[in-house]
Amino acid sequence: MSTGVLSFVKGIDLSSNDFSGDRFPNEVVAMTQATWLKLNKTQLERVPDVLSNLKNLEHLQMINNKLQNVHGELSDLPLLRSVVVRKNQIKTSGVPTDIFRMKDLTIIDFGDNLLRDVPSNLEYAKCAIVLNLRDLLQSNRSHLPRFEQQQS
């Protein structure tokens, strides 16, 4: 793939590729203008380090992979508005506590993972319009944090 055009790419769907191990293409780092990226069904076991360089990224999907955590990488993306990491193997400890403090993040989807508890700092997700924690263990659903109404 010629990398000269990658700096002009606004979005790319790399779903259904095999990125297990260290097979993720480093050329993605050249996609400096990308605002959306789909990495569904790619066998990812961790969030690729190069994603933290995509500072214009607004929408990220990594559905149906083998992710166990998403620490650090997502909070390095200042314009991120939606993160969808449903159907992975993420445990409660694999949810970064700072993700809920991101001011532009409106869609947070950690559904169908291995969450046993409500993630820490969820009460700071005041901009969230969509919050999916589906399949949170039945016994812990009564422990959702209280959200205070913001005063204008």
Q: What is the pLDDT of residues 53-97, one digit of tens each?
A: 999 999 999 999 999 999 777 888 999 999 999 999 999 999 988
Backbone angles phi, psi at 23, to 5 degrees: -85, 0
- Domain assignment present for residue 145? The answer is no
- Domain assignment present for residue 45? The answer is yes
- Domain assignment present for residue 124? The answer is yes
Q: What CA dihedral angle connects 68, 74, 76 and 77, to 10 degrees? A: 160
Candidates 45, 7, 47; CA nearest to 28 is: 7
- Domain assignment present for residue 51? The answer is yes
Model pTM? 0.86
Domains of the chain: total: 1
- pLDDT over 90 percentage in the chain: 62
- Domain assignment present for residue 67? The answer is yes
Tell me which residue range forms the domain holding 108: 3-140
- Coil, strand, or helix at residue 84? strand
Starting at the edge strand found earlier in the chain, the sheet holding 82-84 runs 11-13, 36-38, 59-61, 82-84, 107-109, 130-132
38 beta partners: 13, 61
**In the prediction, which pLDDT does 139 show?**
44
What CATH number has the domain bearing residue 55? 3.80.10.10
- Domain assignment present for residue 123? The answer is yes
- Domain assignment present for residue 148? The answer is no
Q: 87-124: per-residue pLDDT in tens? A: 999 999 999 889 999 989 999 999 999 998 888 888 88
Report how far Cα 33 is from the mean position of its chain's Cα atoms: 18
Q: 7-33: per-residue pLDDT in tens? A: 899 999 999 999 999 899 999 999 999
- Domain assignment present for residue 117? The answer is yes
